[in-house]
Amino acid sequence: MQQEVQQERLWTREFILLTLSNLLLFSVVQMQAPTLPAYVKETYVSSDLMASLVITMFNLSAILSRIYAGEAIKTKNSKTLIIAGLVIAGLAVVGYCFSASIALLIVLRAIFGIGFGLGSTAFATCVSNTIPQKRFGEGMGYFGLSVSLALALGPIVGINLLQQFGFGTMVFTTVCLVAVVFPLVFGMRRQENPVPSSQAEKITGFARFYDKKILLPTTLNFLLSITYGGLISFLVLFGREANFANVSWYFLCFALTVLLVRPLSGKLFDKKGHRAVVPLGAVLVAVGLFILSFADHYVLLYASAVFYGIGYGFLQPSLQAWTVKIVDPAQRGMANAAFLNSIDLGIGIGSMLLGLVVTYSSYALMYRWSALVMVLFLIIYAISDLRSKKIAREQKQQQVA
């Protein structure tokens, strides 16, 4: 009985250290995400499209490194991958201070993406191996809070440091955060790799890097991330155009709503599945973006943050738990890599495409197009869900016959 309770325990030492480490690593990323495009545009007098490249190149390099990390974590020590990622990321950030051109800065962002890809994949895979199966949605929801808090609080800290103390102070702070992760990592125990099932051992070729079973949740997360790419890349510039003195409070409202919703969405996913959380979350995100496109007062700005935050808090942990839960335990590294890649790919492509929209229209119209992305999200989900229900009915009829 005592052993069973121990197996169902969620808040273990490993879970806490992994969650804190992930929070710090993602905070480093999110402190840079809204500030670097603005810094590049002002320092190098570049276009919105060129400024978005500092986001896109980082995301593309992170995607490539995760493809390696998702496969490597099956056989290599997870601590080694994490430490290698932290060293690479920390050195790249230090290099920002010595960047004399936008080309060199973009190269350093790509190197930083490699380090981030290694570390983030290892953290997510390690934590998914520590969570009890019956509390998987809840556990991933709490772990996902580290990402959501970073997504929300990182931009606030980064924007305020840039505006009040300058780019050098912002970079120094991110280097310190990377350094803090090291003692947390050394405090973790070495994890044993999951023993692959006989079915997992048969997986070869491209399936080792991407399983078709996770196509739907990762595609939906990709579409959600496109909308977030528009927020982190252009919200500061949108605020200047709309005469908002400080748009960083948008991210604070976003953080508070995500904090309230994340634990609830995880438990709801465990009890009733994705159908109970995904459609509602998508509608709320679309509403938040639509309100933002008309924001000319702080009331509308904060209302947008609340709607977007509730929707995002429902969607992302549920999509991640869905992605990881439907694969073999030995394939969790691949599943986490694919899920995190869908975030970076969505943010990268979203920054580029929405940057084009802004170039030929306005920030307000760009956020309305972002809302339409969530309409596409709902259409794809509805079609896939109807198809899966039809297949389930046919299989049931065959069993009865």
Q: How far apart are CA 252 and CA 240, in angstroms?
A: 18
What string of DSSP letters covers 166-187?
-HHHHHHHHHHHHHHHHHHHHT
Within 8 A by CB and 6+ apart from 293, the residues are: 364, 365, 366, 367, 368, 371
What string of DSSP letters covers 30-55?
HHHTTHHHHHHHHHS---HHHHHHHH
What is residue 245's DSSP assignment? S
Q: What is the pLDDT of residue 3?
A: 45
Q: What angle do CA 288, 294, 300 make, to 5 degrees?
A: 60
What is residue 273's DSSP assignment? -
Q: How far apart are CA 37 and CA 13, in angstroms?
A: 38
Q: How far apart are CA 334 and CA 213, in angstroms?
A: 12
Mean pLDDT, contiguous 10-residue spans, the chain (401 residues)? 55 89 92 81 71 76 86 78 92 87 86 92 85 79 81 82 89 93 85 53 57 90 92 81 79 84 80 87 95 90 93 89 84 84 84 84 89 96 90 74 59
Compute φ and ψ for 283, nearest 5 degrees: -65, -45
Place of tokens 């933002």: 292
Cβ 233 vs Cβ 325: under 8 Å: no
Within 8 A by CB and 6+ apart from 25, the residues are: 86, 89, 116, 119, 120, 123, 150, 178, 181
Q: What is the pLDDT of residue 145?
A: 80
Q: How many CA atoms lie within 13 A of 150 on its CB side?
A: 23
